Amino acid sequence: MQKPLAYRMRPKNISEVVGQQDLVGPGKIIDRMVKAKILSSMILYGPPGTGKTSIASAIAGSTKYAFRILNAATDTKKDLQIVAEEAKMSGTVILLLDEIHRLDKTKQDFLLPLLESGQIILIGATTENPYININPAIRSRTQIFQVNPLSSSDIKTAVNRALADSQNGLGNYNVNLNDDAFEFLTNSTNGDLRSALNALELCVKSTPEENGIITVTLKDIEACLQRKALTQDKNGDAHYNVISAFQKSIRGSDTDAALHYAARLIESGDLNSLTRRLMVIAYEDIGLANPSACQRTVMAVQAADRLGLPEGRIPLADAIIELCLSPKSNSGIAAIDAALSEVKSGNYGDIPKEIRDAHYQGAEKLGVVGYKFPHDFPGDWVRQQYLPDKIKNAKYYQPKENGKIEKAFSKQYQKLNLLKNGKDGN
């Protein structure tokens, strides 16, 4: 039985990996590991179809080490023992362990000494947060790398490669992929390359030829992805226009408009874009004016992710309505962007000696003394310089008073600034 297109198109070396260039690009950490043949066990953490297995396969192909794939949930300790025996004979085996967050203690205890000795280079793959869901004993012996959803340009590269590849791809088929179908395919899978490639293969192999040409249309792609295009625009802008309109409607407190654009995303099956953007909106546009609404938005997104569609629409609707009707403040994002701008300029000076780390012998000789512990003073506050001399008077946070919460924050911020300047804060 022939393997799916996404499987056949897996990269054979690091240079063929699509996306994740911050990890596998020239001079980046995994590229350096491969070139030096100094591999460490790692955990690749990210959404489905973003290249976790591809990176593992490419590492093995580039180093010529044996490569084995097991699943922590379904494969047994005996399967691990077989890999361990092979590692003893060949020297090193790269083991991709899928769903590593489901590794039980028996298998973990068996693996740990093999990781310590370097006989097995473990590459764990998971969609779950490893800092929460993976045992500390495994975490301490691995490096954790986050992989991100692929960009539409990354997916376009992979689709074009698959259409041109006669050996593993669809190069033996005379395919005419319409522009609007191509744009929808590469923009609608939320960075999931596996879904895009497998939908493409289904389209190509299930669409009849006409005059020796297989013409794949937008309707064909919609049917194979089981998602509807938001509009049939040829520039691929509709998705981003809906996301933009959704955020601006919430920012503008138009509840009905926000629900309308959310409905468009739900109808297109794009739950990921909706939930991600909703969390961004909560902290970017509502922020300190209603922090509890931000927390409830995160809870609603978690509930929607667990429920899936169609039930996931219910907590999301509640969150959207609350955000629309909440007071708005963007002082948080404005403050961190102002701080980042100064840091990027590089002209900010040294950390004051009084607040540097002093937990080592010799700190006093280096002048790292004089720190005043605020808890030892009335009101848990004492006048003390925290910013470098060059920017000691910098102000990044510009408080707003668009809600009771931030109004209180604003009052406290102004009071502390007066105290810092030697004035009465009352």
pLDDT band at residue 159 under the 50/70/90 scheme: very high
Closest CA to 196 of 246, 245, 161: 161
45 SS3 class: strand
Distance CA 46, CA 253 (A): 33
Residues whose CB is less than 8 angstroms from the CB of residue 176 and which lie 6 or more positions away in sequence, other chains included: 213, 214, 215, 216
What percentage of the chain reaches a pLDDT higher than 90?
A: 46
Provide mean pLDDT across the span 213-237.
Answer: 71
* The predicted structure's pLDDT at residue 278: 96
107's CB contacts (< 8 A; 6+ apart) are 72, 77, 80
Lowest mean pLDDT among 185-189, 193-197, 228-232, 287-291: 228-232
Q: What is the pTM of this model?
A: 0.60
- Calculate the alpha carbon distances from 327 to 59, 250, 375, 396 in Å: 50, 11, 34, 21
The conformation of residue 127, written as its DSSP 8-state character, comes to: S
- Could you tell me which of 295, 301, 292 has the C-alpha nearest to residue 327? 292
pLDDT digits (tens, 9 = 90+) for 51-89: 899 999 899 889 888 889 999 989 999 999 999 999 888
Q: Of 387, 383, 389, which is closest to residue 397 (Cα–Cα)?
A: 387
CB 259 within 8 A of CB 243: no
Instruction: Report the pLDDT averaged over residues 370-398.
Output: 89
What is the pLDDT, as a whole number, of residue 360?
73
Q: What is the mean pLDDT of the segment spanning 13-37?
A: 91
Whether pLDDT at 363 is above 90: no
Cα dihedral across residues 247, 249, 253, 258: positive or negative: negative
Domains and CATH numbers, the chain: 5-146 (3.40.50.300), 152-225 (1.10.8.60), 238-325 (1.20.272.10), 351-420 (1.10.3710.10)
Q: What is the mean pLDDT of the chain?
A: 88
pLDDT at residue 289 in the model: 94
Quickly state the pLDDT bin for 232 (edges 50, 70, 90): very low
Taking only the tens place, the pLDDT of each residue in 289-305 is 999 999 999 999 999 98
Structure confidence at residue 1 (pLDDT): 66
pLDDT value, residue 324: 96
Does residue 234 surpass a pLDDT of 60? no
Express each pLDDT in 309-355 by its tens digit. 889 999 999 999 999 999 999 999 999 999 999 998 888 888 888 88
Give the per-residue pLDDT at 200: 94
> What is the reported pLDDT for 229?
58
**pLDDT value of position 236:** 47
Query: Tens of pLDDT along 122-154?
Result: 999 998 888 877 888 888 889 999 998 888 899
